[in-house]
Structure 1
Amino acid sequence: MAGLIIGSVASLVIFLAAEPLCWAMGARGDVLDNATAYLQAVVFGMPGMMLVYAANGIFRGLQKVRITLAAAVCGAVVNTVLDVLFVFGFDWGVTGSGVATLIAQWFMGLFLVVPALLWARADGADWRPRLRGILGSASDGSVLFIRSLALRACMVATVMAATSMGTQVLAAYQSVNSCWNFVINILDAIGIAGQALVAAELGAGHRDRARLMTRAAGRSGLIGGVAIGVALIAVGFVAAPLFSPTPDVQRLITVGMMVLGIFLPLGGWMWAVDGILIGAGDYRYLAAGCAATAVVYLPALWGLHLADGVFLTNDAVRMAVLWTVINLLFIGTRAIFNGLRIRTDRWMR
């Protein structure tokens, strides 16, 4: 309920402020018009995504991980089919793409929340919120909010950096980023599985088994990243025309997919370990690590902006460097912090 309320209020505020927000991120002219239209169309899917986040937390506690992967895959299929229907069939343009994403987000929210409520009730949980429980989790929630704020600041800054590089780089970035978000949901299933298993071992006091599970989860994330990375590179070469009819944008998508695919094993390992640390309740360290990542990453993006036109002289170079910085600094810095943490016992409670 809280997620629905927060998501609805935030959606209304963003809808009303869509144009100045897009302008602040560097959009101008036709890009500003299209960005505003898309944001106003998609923003009311935010409450649906809040349901997804809430349900994912429930499934972590219930150690049910397959349904989150099923939701991600089904949501992507729904989004893709509706994109084709609304954009090309109904000729709604970017607004149609936004509406398709909105519907897919609500679909995933309901796909997860209905069984989550049923399983919670079957385990004897009360659906009614309790003030004592809410206040008891407020401390952890505030720390996780700091973590999320740091990550979101990095993501918004990345869009601003892509926007400053021109419309073709921005279009290609958004296409590759959509694939990246889909892949994250798949790899996150590994993190959720590891999180549940390690948390169970820690709860039973089996620290040695928890360490073994942590290593196994990290290897699984790494191997999954290799397999999916190869697939992404292939998609970049074969399926780029599905993302854009413009040959120049297609070439940039191929470049971005190649860089993303090469670095995806690092991301797969990082997300797996990230999930384990979340399951262990190591929220303060994760928040500190993400804040430190923002301190490293945000100035690097500013450096890219200054280098544009001096060292970054064509769009292919801009695309390759942007995605390299994303993976080396945004993902890589978090991977370093996570790796340093699991080498100790301080994350085990």
Structure 2
Amino acid sequence: MTSPRPGTARSARLSKDVRRRHDREIIALAVPAFGALVAEPLFVMADSAIVGHLGTIQLAGLGVAAALLTTSVNVFVFLAYATTAAVARRVGAADLRSAIRQGIDGIWLALLLGALVVAVVMPTAPALAGLFGASGEATSYAVTYLRISALGTPAMLVVLASTGVLRGLQDTRTPLTVAVAGFTANLGLNAGLVFGAGLGIAGSALGTVLAQCGMAAAYLIVVVRGARRHGAPLRPDMAGIRACATAGVPLLVRTLSLRASLVIATAIAAHLGDADVAAHQILLTLWSLLAFALDAIAIAGQAIIGRYLGADDSEGARASSRRMVQWGIAAGLLLGLLVVASRPLFIPMFTSDPVVRDHLLPALLVVAATQPVCGVVFVLDGVLMGAGDGPYLAWAMLATLAVFAPAAIGIPAVGGGLTMLWWAMGLFMLTRMVFLWVRARSGRWVVTGAVRA
């Protein structure tokens, strides 16, 4: 029997050691990030569970308002993603003062953008809610929820920017602590204000705003302490704020295209009927929860990839990205199986309406089947964000929207229902995966240095 060559055995050991090192890095960042990431969909899920027991019309109104609110906040998710990548690069280059200064510029930008969102949403809430074509009563509830919840937008954007600072500093534990506290407060406040104080859907919105403001205050305390420790100035720097805004434009285009796809899906569900849009809202909150769970690996990717590239370690960045894709596929398979297994428990949590349940079940199985594809998409999205490859991400999402929109809009014309709409969502994710996979394989995203040229 021939013994393995010494060089081959040594290479295998080194490869195994590298995989273990990457696994430790991914786990150390992804596990706490998971808890922090799921806070947002858990906020909406808690609202949906509480409001769902008020009635189907109220839940349909929440579905419309939630689509608008998540759009108004998540279009600015670049405040977290771009900040994570930029701060991580400077951490890799061992320049902590500049890293924190970059993050503070992002927080000031978040406050300015939050004030702008409030100024736009408050007077236009009836017109915005009316765009979805839901029934008049559902639209009325949507307007109530939207106007109150919009007041929490500046706080939510500060949370995004501050989270980006801490992730870039390779700290995902603090966001986890704040998220757990925020979710707990949100659940207690909502239940108390909706049922205890009898405020109905308005109480759900008010409870969420109060929880969001508390989270923003906690993040600001942590960031300010870090700035003082490393001598980073806190005052607004207009040049730095403009630079953050400019760097975020490609990711803004990417996110607007993503949110447009989700808004189109909700609008199609609303035209199918109140039962359909209520079921769609439940599915969308679940899909968001699963997406954020998978995005935990992507968040680790943003921080790790940025740090490797900032330290001029291109091979480390490539090896780490390959390992994270493997993690994404495995996580997607596991989540899909969990969705199928938990469906008898999940559905009754949100509605007792038999019509809503009938619409919900087959579409829920579609959500489960597409999770492995989602795993690859979110991981590669995070890798390219960590590399600062925003322009490509913007172009790829616009192209994906061009594929998805006609498929979704055509569903009512062919007599399709909610299940067909969620198959179209599967097409949306598959198209994204193709574009991201091609870019990752090309290696053009690997650009080293403290600042991406």
Query: When the two structures are superposed, what TM-score results if normalisation uses the length of structure 1?
Result: 0.88
Relative to structure 1, the CA distance from residue 274 to residue 38 in structure 2 (aligned partners, 3 Å threshold; closer, same or farther) is same
| Matching of residue 196 in structure 1 with residue 295 in structure 2 | no
* Pair 1:174–1:81, CA change in 2 (3 A): farther
Deviation digits for residues 272-312 of structure 1, max 9, x if unmatched?
Answer: 211111110101001111111111112222111322xx3x2
Partner SS, residue 347 of structure 1? coil
**Counterparts of residues 163-174 of structure 1 (less than 5 Å):** 163-174=270-281
Q: CA separation in 1, counterparts of 2:218 and 2:358?
A: 36
Distance 2:141 2:208 in 1: 15
Pair 1:3 & 2:110 matched: yes
Change (3 A) 1:328 1:35: same
Q: Which amino acid aligns with 1:332?
A: L
Amino acid at match of 1:236: R
2:255 aligned with 1:148: yes
Tell me the alpha carbon deviations over residues 42-64 of structure 1, each in whole angstroms, 9 at most, x when there is no partner. 22221122112211321232121
8 A Cα contact 1:225 1:268, kept in partner: yes
Partner of 2:422 in structure 1?
323
1:86 alignment counterpart:
193
Q: Evaluate the alpha carbon distance shift between residue 292 and residue 67 of structure 1 in structure 2; reply closer, same or farther with a 3 A threshold.
A: farther
Q: Is residue 2:133 matched to residue 1:26?
A: yes
Distance 1:63 1:299 in 2: 41
1:315 aligns to what?
none
Aligned mate of 1:273, from 376, 380, 405 = 380
Residue identity over aligned pairs, in percent, reads 33
Equivalent residue number for residue 169 of structure 2: 62
In structure 2, C-alpha distance between the alignment counterparts of 1:70 and 1:60, rounded to whole Å:
13
CA contact (8 A) 2:109 2:241 kept: no
> What is the deviation of 1:77?
4.2
Please state whether the residue corresponding to 2:352 is helix, strand or coil. Answer: coil
Which of 405, 428, 439 is the equivalent residue of 1:341? 439
Greater mean alpha carbon deviation, residues 85-94 or residues 286-295? 85-94
Q: Does 2:285 match 1:178?
A: yes
CA contact 1:69–1:185 (8 Å) conserved in 2: no
Q: Following TM superposition, by how much is the alpha carbon of 1:198 offset from its aligned partner in structure 2, in angstroms?
A: 1.7
* Residues 10-62 of structure 1: per-residue CA shift (max 9 Å, x gap): 12321221111111221232121122122123222211221122113212321
1:208 aligns with 2:335: no
Using the alignment, how far apart are the partners of 2:136 and 2:400 within structure 1? 33
In the aligned structure 2, how far is the partner of 1:296 from the partner of 1:208? 34
How far residue 321 of structure 1 moved from its aligned partner, in angstroms, is 1.7
State whether residues 65 and 192 of structure 1, in contact with CA within 8 Å, keep that contact through their aligned partners in structure 2.
no
Closer/same/farther in 2, CA of residues 270 and 155 from structure 1, 3 Å limit: same
Bigger Cα Rg: 2
TM superposition shift of 1:71: 4.5
The alignment partner of 1:239 has SS state of helix
Q: How many angstroms apart in 2 are the aligned matches of 1:297 and 1:157?
A: 9
Q: Tell me how far apart the structure 1 counterparts of residues 218 and 286 of structure 2 sit (CA, whole Å).
A: 21
1:49 counterpart letter in structure 2: M
Verify the 8 A CA contact 1:259 1:323 in the aligned structure 2: yes
- The residue correspondences of 1:154-303 to structure 2 (distance < 5 A) are 154-303=261-410
The alpha-carbon distance between structure 1 residues 342 and 81, as it changes in their structure 2 partners (threshold 3 A), is same
Q: What amino acid is aligned across from residue 341 of structure 1 in structure 2?
A: R
Q: Is the 8 A contact 1:243 1:250 kept in 2?
A: no
Q: Distance in 2 between matches of 1:204 and 1:250?
A: 52
Secondary structure class of the residue paired with 1:63: coil
1:184 offset after TM fit, Å? 2.9
* Aligned residues of 2:363 and 2:419 also touching (Cα < 8 A): yes
CA pair 129-343 structure 1, distance change in 2 beyond 3 A: same
Q: Partners in 1 of 2:314 and 2:183 — Cα distance?
A: 38
Q: Secondary structure at the match of 1:266?
A: helix
Aligned counterparts of 2:366 and 2:221: Cα–Cα separation in 1: 38
- Look up the match of 1:114: 221
Amino acid at match of 1:154: S
Secondary structure of the 2:151 match is helix
Structure 1, unaligned stretches of length 5 or more?
A: 313-317
Question: What CA distance in whole angstroms lies between the structure 1 residues aligned with 2:280 and 2:328?
Answer: 24
Separation of aligned partners in 1, 2:228 and 2:218:
17
Could you tell me how far apart the structure 1 residues matched to 2:331 and 2:181 are? 19
Instruction: For 2:325, give the aligned amino acid.
Output: G
1:227 Cα deviation (Å)?
A: 2.5
- Distance in 1, matches of 2:224 and 2:270, equals 41
- CA shift, 1:70, in A, is 4.6
The answer to whether the Cα contact below 8 Å between 1:12 and 1:44 also exists between their aligned partners in 2 is no
Quick one: which amino acid aligns to residue 426 of structure 2? N
CA RMSD in angstroms, aligned pairs only: 2.3
C-alpha contact 1:236 1:255 (8 A) present in aligned 2: no
**Runs (5+) with no aligned partner, structure 2:** 1-107, 448-453
Taking a change above 3 Å as real, the CA distance of residues 75 and 173 of structure 1, as seen in their structure-2 partners, is: farther
Matched residue type, 1:174: Q
Residue 108 of structure 1: how far off its partner (Å): 3.7
| Cα offset, 1:132, TM superposition | 2.9
Q: Structure 1: which amino acid aligns with 2:359?
A: L
Q: Distance in 1 between matches of 2:153 and 2:242?
A: 24
What is the alpha-carbon distance in structure 2 between the residues aligned to residue 14 and residue 93 of structure 1? Answer: 21
- Aligned residue identity for 1:117: V
Q: What is the deviation of 1:221? A: 2.2
Letter in 2 for 1:287: A
- For residues 372 and 187 of structure 2, the distance between their equivalents in structure 1, rounded to whole angstroms, comes to 25
Higher relative contact order (CA 8 A, sep 6+): 2
